[in-house]
Copies of this chain bind each other. A is one copy, B any other.
Amino acid sequence: MSRHGNIKRILPALAEKLGDRLSVSEAVRQHHGTSLTYLAPALPEAVAFAHSTEEVSHIIRLCNEADVPVMAFGTGTSLEGHFLATEGGLCIDLSGMDKIVSIHAEDLDATVEAGVTREDLNHALRDMGLFFPIDPGANASLGGMTATRASGTNAVRYGTMRDNVLSLTAVMADGEIIRTKGRAKKSAAGYDLNALLTGSEGTLGIIMEITLKLYGIPEAMSAAVCHFEDLESAVKTVVETIQTGIPVARIELADALQMSLINKYSELDYAAKPTLFLEFHGSEQSVREQAEIVGEIAAGQGSGDFRWASRTEDRNKLWKARHDAFYAVQANHPGKDFWATDVCVPISRLTDCIMQTYDDIEKTGLVAPLVGHVGDGNFHLTLVFDKKDPAQVNRIEAFNGRLVERALKLEGTSTGEHGIGIGKKKFMTLEHGPALHYMQAIKKALDPKNILNPGKIFDLED
């Protein structure tokens, strides 16, 4: 049963609460119902620009009572349609909740509102000699990153959001405000609601504040790129580096096609060959040691020389180019559509998974540049296509299905970091088997009317 229209009953109450921070304009709804990627837009019926947790609590109570779907929105950079309003309802835009609530340098933690972006936080931390490492490609909001259990280039060393959310505040489906933990580094007191809400994609609660772990900026950092004659040699270098236990801070792969696009977009002159982007953190001596060992491993796989970036501005330029990989694909294919997908496998299976996928790309005849957080066994493809051509859409859908099946067969997962959203729902049974039933039971228990981001991660049986 569609719930479109239910919102009408509460629009006056919402308008009274929010004033001009409630919008029903077509342009605003378009912006909040259109994602970066291949999925069709699905517009909310109204957008609320929230300013406080108490306000969101009030809004959710109204929506719950009137059976109105609620989607949270940060920067709109998620890649599997997480915020699309497929059943209409209210979008709550949290970008105005951008206060850094507290920084406890002595405990290495900071508490931020959901709308603070990762770059904002790092800007505030820099003078204190601290940083927050998790860095998905986009300058995403920390609320969105928590909701999708995001990771990025540093995860190989510092973990993902799963590992770095110390505590959070959320508004639940009934409007109740909860905090999942105190600030102690560990706790054995009851169920880990903190981990349950992290990665729940807005379906169990709206994340309002997050207490994050921080790290001291290392004494020394240096970055390098090096290219290989073939993809397999690059991947084998990664696998050997990880298995040797080198604590690399970053070890990222881009294939030849992706490198040529990065070169054009970021005006660089790297070789258009399979390439690793590396970064080492530690003391001067340990950074030197790590780089030497990885250099030897790479040379054993026939790599070119390391091109070093030790000055901060050179390192920043290098990582900006890597982070802009998706935008580089977009800019080089005007008029095309893009399907970003990612899978993750145990490191021992990574070479197999990538080489089989490469064969498949070739056989299927796709344009599909590859990048990846390969130190985690995680890689991404940006599939370039024309969504108006049903044959292309079918081909890509079938390819994506084979990719996920391959990763699962190799004991991996359908997504290392993008999340499920709408795009990967159909693989949940294959991945989780009977465990899916218990996820659904939790959802029903915590959100009996299914108002929080309905239709994401899984559909509910009736």
Residue of B178, B184, B198, B204 near A345 (CB, 8 A) is B184
Q: Is the CB of B416 within 8 A of A187?
A: yes
* A401: B residues at CB distance < 8 A: none
Contact A346/B408 with A185-B377, A377-B184, A436-B190 known, Cβ cut-off 8 Å: no
The stretch among A120-128, A267-275, A418-426 that forms the contact with chain B is A418-426
Q: Is the CB of B182 within 8 A of A413?
A: yes
* A176 part of interface (Cβ distance < 8 Å): yes
Cα(A106)–Cα(B352), bound, Å = 14
Q: Is the CB of B445 within 8 A of A183?
A: no
Q: A149-B192, A184-B344, A441-B445 are in contact. List 14 more A-B contacts (CB 8 A).
A: A104-B346, A104-B348, A148-B188, A172-B438, A182-B408, A184-B345, A184-B411, A185-B346, A188-B415, A189-B415, A190-B420, A190-B431, A190-B457, A285-B285
* A334 part of interface (Cβ distance < 8 Å): no
Contact A216/B245 with A412-B184, A441-B445 known, Cβ cut-off 8 Å: yes
Contact A192/B198 with A216-B245, A286-B283, A444-B445 known, Cβ cut-off 8 Å: yes
Residue of B109, B179, B283, B458 near A190 (CB, 8 A) is B458
* A198: B residues at CB distance < 8 A: 192
* A160 part of interface (Cβ distance < 8 Å): yes
Can you offer 11 A-B residue contacts whose CB atoms are under 8 A? A107-B346, A107-B348, A151-B186, A162-B186, A178-B435, A183-B412, A188-B416, A189-B428, A190-B432, A190-B457, A442-B445
Cα(A190)–Cα(B431), bound, Å = 10
Q: Is the CB of A446 within 8 A of B435?
A: no
Q: Is the CB of B184 within 8 A of A437?
A: no
Most chain-B Cβ atoms within 10 A of its Cβ — which of A183, A187, A408? Answer: A187
A198 to chain B: closest residue by CB:
B192
User: In the assembled complex, how far is the CB of residue A177 from the closest CB belonging to chain B, in whole angstroms?
Assistant: 7
The 9 closest A-B pairs by CB, nearest first: A195-B195, A445-B445, A187-B413, A178-B435, A184-B344, A106-B348, A184-B412, A183-B411, A188-B419
* A196: B residues at CB distance < 8 A: 191-192, 195-196, 442
Contact A437/B189 with A107-B346, A195-B162, A283-B289 known, Cβ cut-off 8 Å: no
A window 162-184: CB within 8 A of B: 162-163, 172, 176-184
Most chain-B Cβ atoms within 10 A of its Cβ — which of A179, A192, A414? Answer: A192
Cα(A178)–Cα(B441), bound, Å = 14
User: In the assembled complex, how far is the CB of residue A420 from the closest CB belonging to chain B, in whole angstroms?
Assistant: 6
A432 to chain B: closest residue by CB:
B190
Q: Is the CB of A180 within 8 A of B442?
A: no
User: In the assembled complex, how far is the CB of residue A212 from the closest CB belonging to chain B, in whole angstroms?
Assistant: 14
Cα(A378)–Cα(B187), bound, Å = 9
A window 65-107: CB within 8 A of B: 104, 106-107
Cα(A426)–Cα(B56), bound, Å = 31
Q: Is the CB of B162 within 8 A of A435?
A: no
Most chain-B Cβ atoms within 10 A of its Cβ — which of A413, A419, A428? Answer: A413
Q: Is the CB of B413 within 8 A of A184?
A: yes
* A434 part of interface (Cβ distance < 8 Å): yes
A169 to chain B: closest residue by CB:
B435
Cα(A420)–Cα(B191), bound, Å = 10
User: In the assembled complex, how far is the CB of residue A101 from the closest CB belonging to chain B, in whole angstroms?
Assistant: 13
Q: Is the CB of A376 within 8 A of B190?
A: no
